Amino acid sequence: MIDVVNNSTPYLSGDDVGAIATYLKSLAPTADEPPYAYDGTTAEDLQSGHASATGATLYASNCGSCHGADGKGFSPFLPALAGNPTVLDNDQTSLINLILNGSTPLVVKGTPDAYRMPQFRLQLADEEIADVVTFIRNGWGNRASPATAAQVATLRKTTDPTSDQVVILKMR
């Protein structure tokens, strides 16, 4: 989606944006989306320093300064994790990838964004990334399945920038 944001959507006309909005509003919600309601218990636990859930300490030390103890982020620059569709998605690949590899810069009409997600592939082990993903997917009212170290390990191997496989994919 970075290419879409960097090279396409900033140049849409008002009519184009209106047509996209009309189309999106016409879509029926998917039946498997769990209803979301914010729960402040996670924020209270993190703010009090008594968060005992697996992954809470990792979240507090690596993620909380950007996404907040309340999981609400700092819009529009740092996204909320509470109720975030990427966090709640049945497929955890995007969230694991973001934590493992970070994000590439957004450049809108030649202006780079001020903030981007750093990568944690060198700082955190597979189990630690799985723990923080699980914490995020179950905090602030989020109710999603846990991540496993095996999922992280698989993605780590297939997205390793030093791997010949990734270099070949980038050249295609």
Domain chopping of the chain, boundaries: 35-171
Q: Region 113-131: what's the mean pLDDT?
A: 93
pLDDT in tens, 81-97: 999 999 999 999 999 99
pLDDT number for residue 6: 79
pLDDT number for residue 32: 67
pLDDT in tens, 46-56: 999 988 999 99
* Residues 6+ away with beta carbon under 8 Å from 119: 100, 101, 102
Angle, vertex CA 46, rays to CA 42 and CA 52, nearest 5: 80
Contact assessment for residue 115 and residue 49, using Cβ atoms and an 8 Å cutoff: no
Q: State the fold for domain 35-171.
A: Cytochrome Bc1 Complex; Chain D, domain 2 (1.10.760)
pTM of the model: 0.81
Pairing of strands 107-108, 111-112: antiparallel
* Residues 6+ away with beta carbon under 8 Å from 87: 81, 95, 136, 137, 142, 144
Strand spans (E) along 5-84: none
